[in-house]
Structure 1
């Protein structure tokens, strides 16, 4: 199968933070684009993968087993056993809806996107049950202009600073009710239906806030996946990227009929002026 190459015009629309001059020049000299990219800062928005990291309570523990080891075998090989939704991971629409897209049905063109960061970490510091509002999105647009179509919108709460402590991530009270921030329906509908974003992500274990998941209410995640778009959970280091102007690269294995998998999320940030 011949790989699909994004046209330069489409690439410019998807990635406005990259210099158009470099994109034009790369048609004649691929090193020009590479040199331009190397002037940008690369930020890893993923947590390290391990067997004992925070995860949804309904999942069994992950395991990591050594099958062959050196020096006896002359090499080392390990077997990993984990659910698809482990660590920083992608939820494709097929995670909730059998008739919608699985991992292998999401094209590579949806892996590279303008990065939009909605920063509500101050609100969350004052109220761990805070849920993002439409006013938060409008406030971002007042500063940066309309959320670009095709964007990856990440919700910054700084909740990832509690990693890798499972108890601190869940933040449950004495009655077992979890208290962590999340999305709300109105801003999600605005982003997906009006602004036509490609995907969204957050630092917590769920789209829905802890008060909702404590009641087994995952209606917001159901909404996102029901639009036939994907989301990424358990993001990290959103405090190291700007609210606007960066580029997100979300990469996962091309798992046939995959319903979820750990991902590597990288942000390409323009150098400081």
Structure 2
């Protein structure tokens, strides 16, 4: 229970060390009777200055008093009250600061125990997302997003588009439901897998020679030999150098129009599944290479409850190991995937 009252605290100058040498204040009204039971007390003090030995205090003061403490100070002047409140608030602040620090350390410990290889970030953030519009390359060649003006500054006073969006366009997520009937939709992706250690596997050299190059088990094993085990829950991303081709038709297809771009091999993703990786990513149009006819990676990786990210950008900026990826997956109910904002920190 809280008691709220307004009061001025009178005291004899001889009873107060802070006012002993100050002129005696004029007669004040009697203070209100002490509360009879321990309670939280919210008091709004409005003590009007009547001498150099008193001070004005107009502020909410939240204190916890017990009956014994109250009765030990039957004659407390305004100046004493202020000093006592200061000491009390400082002690509370120290308590709360300590508690907050303890809670923060506990939360950090929980995250680190769940994701032991999350980056010890230096503060650099990299956007792994392409800006996209109706000209962004898509698998079937149709525009992935269409804009229709719904409101204009003149005459409506504000601007608003109506968008028609195909889920798998731009930098986007492939949810299990994309290739597994009854699989998890994009809104049901476990949130703990949307922040993950990022492992970048570089295949730029062989992709420069073969546009349909794939990440193979040997590439995964080489990464492990160089950087250690792939952490549980990690996102493993292929860096084929394809991002540099964005804006050129070769990002999607050969001059004859046939799809051609690097991807993962099924053997490589089977190996990644054994490591406990939660997601894979590519800097190309598809998890499978462009010349795939059976979508073997889509058909095995996604139905196992994992997800993929297609169309990543700026992987060249990141280290092979030590970055953390933040996956801003869309959350439209029942979706098979969708455009996402992806960033990394290292």
The reply to whether TM is greater than 0.5 is yes
SS in 2 for 1:179: coil
1:68-125 CA deviation, whole Å, 9 max, x = no partner?
1113211101111111111000010011112110012112211100000001111111
For the 8 Å contact 1:84–1:259, the answer to whether it is kept is yes
> Residue 178 of structure 1 is aligned with which of 232, 255, 259?
259
> Residue 78 of structure 1 is aligned with which of 131, 142, 161?
161
Q: Which residue of 2 aligns with 1:28?
A: none
For the 8 Å contact 2:135–2:143, the answer to whether it is kept is no
SS in 2 for 1:221: helix
Q: Which residue of 2 aligns with 1:16?
A: 117
Once residues 144 and 174 of structure 2 are traced to their aligned partners in structure 1, the CA distance between those partners, rounded to angstroms, is 19
SS in 2 for 1:164: coil
Q: How much does 1:60 deviate?
A: 5.0
Q: Which residue of 2 aligns with 1:249?
A: 326
> Residue 233 of structure 1 is aligned with which of 285, 310, 316?
310
Once residues 176 and 303 of structure 2 are traced to their aligned partners in structure 1, the CA distance between those partners, rounded to angstroms, is 6
For the 8 Å contact 2:173–2:308, the answer to whether it is kept is yes
SS in 2 for 1:211: coil
1:126-152 CA deviation, whole Å, 9 max, x = no partner?
222211111111111111001111101
SS in 2 for 1:52: coil
Q: Which residue of 1 aligns with 2:128?
A: 45
**Residue 169 (str. 1) matches residue 251 (str. 2):** yes
1:158-177 CA deviation, whole Å, 9 max, x = no partner?
11111133x21223253x43
Once residues 92 and 119 of structure 1 are traced to their aligned partners in structure 2, the CA distance between those partners, rounded to angstroms, is 24
Extract unaligned runs of 5+ from structure 1.
Answer: 1-5, 20-36
Q: Which residue of 2 aligns with 1:32?
A: none
Q: Which residue of 2 aligns with 1:96?
A: 179
Once residues 285 and 247 of structure 2 are traced to their aligned partners in structure 1, the CA distance between those partners, rounded to angstroms, is 12
Extract unaligned runs of 5+ from structure 2.
Answer: 1-105
Aligned residues: 241
Q: How much does 1:222 deviate?
A: 1.2
Once residues 103 and 129 of structure 1 are traced to their aligned partners in structure 2, the CA distance between those partners, rounded to angstroms, is 28
Q: Which residue of 1 aligns with 2:289?
A: 209
**Residue 220 (str. 1) matches residue 287 (str. 2):** no
Once residues 220 and 206 of structure 2 are traced to their aligned partners in structure 1, the CA distance between those partners, rounded to angstroms, is 14
**Residue 190 (str. 1) matches residue 266 (str. 2):** no
For the 8 Å contact 2:136–2:144, the answer to whether it is kept is no
**Residue 259 (str. 1) matches residue 336 (str. 2):** yes
Change in 2 beyond 3 A, CA 1:268/1:202: same
For the 8 Å contact 1:252–1:261, the answer to whether it is kept is yes
Q: Which residue of 1 aligns with 2:45?
A: none
SS in 2 for 1:232: strand
For the 8 Å contact 2:118–2:196, the answer to whether it is kept is no
Between 1 and 2, higher relative CO (CA 8 Å, sep ≥ 6) is seen in 1
> Which structure is larger by alpha-carbon Rg, 1 or 2?
2
Q: Which residue of 1 aligns with 2:191?
A: 108
